[in-house]
């Protein structure tokens, strides 16, 4: 009878130790996951801030370019000169637009990549953890 009690007691003790280790592992894992989400939010915030600054810069430059082109067009001495100024402005404005929005697209992609990287790492760690429990 003592042997059965002793074996049962030892089995319970081992089970409790294993359970406590699992709880500790999960607590550590969860802390790392929360840290990853904080890093992700910080990266997204910085990226969105940079995108906003780029949009504001583009808007300001566009208005300044428009005002300069309008002033130049109003000072033209012929219809031909007016059309040349206007055509140059439209070409330049379009090229600037395409360049800036390409840059914004690149910035948005980089922001998304930076924001998802910590979360992706935690997902991979989770999958490894699941695989280790299955083994």
The confidence band for 27, taking pLDDT boundaries of 50, 70 and 90, is confident
What residue ranges do the domains of the chain occupy?
2-134
> Which residue from 48, 63, 64 is spatially nearest to 104, judged by alpha carbons?
48
> Which residue from 42, 41, 40, 44 is spatially nearest to 52, judged by alpha carbons?
44
pLDDT score for 11: 74
Is residue 102 within 8 A of residue 93, CB to CB? The reply is no
> Which residue from 65, 86, 62, 64 is spatially nearest to 74, judged by alpha carbons?
86
pLDDT score for 80: 96
In this structure, of 15-24, 60-69, 112-121, the range with the lowest mean pLDDT score is 15-24
Q: What is the pTM of this model?
A: 0.72
The confidence band for 85, taking pLDDT boundaries of 50, 70 and 90, is very high
For the residues 25-31, what does the mean pLDDT come to?
A: 84
pLDDT score for 41: 96
Give the CA distances from residue 125 to residues 34, 39, 43, 68, 128, in Å, rounded to whole numbers and listed in that order.
Answer: 13, 16, 20, 56, 5
The confidence band for 128, taking pLDDT boundaries of 50, 70 and 90, is confident
CA distance 72 to 83: 11
pLDDT beyond 70 at 4? no
Helix spans in the chain (H): 2-74, 79-134
Is residue 75 within 8 A of residue 86, CB to CB? The reply is no
């Amino acid at each position: 009878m003592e042997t059965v009690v002793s074996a049962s007691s030892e089995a319970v003790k081992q089970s409790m130790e294993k359970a406590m280790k699992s709880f500790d592992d999960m607590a550590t894992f969860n802390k790392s996951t929360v840290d990853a989400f904080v890093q992700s939010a910080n990266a997204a915030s910085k990226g969105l801030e940079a995108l906003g600054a780029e949009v504001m810069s583009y808007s300001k430059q566009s208005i300044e370019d428009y005002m300069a082109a309008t002033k130049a067009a109003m000072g033209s001495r012929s219809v031909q000169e007016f059309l040349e100024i206007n055509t140059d402005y439209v070409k330049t404005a379009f090229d600037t637009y395409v360049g800036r929005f390409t840059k914004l697209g690149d910035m948005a992609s980089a922001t998304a990549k930076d924001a998802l990287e910590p979360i992706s790492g935690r997902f991979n760690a989770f999958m490894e953890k699941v695989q280790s429990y299955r083994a």
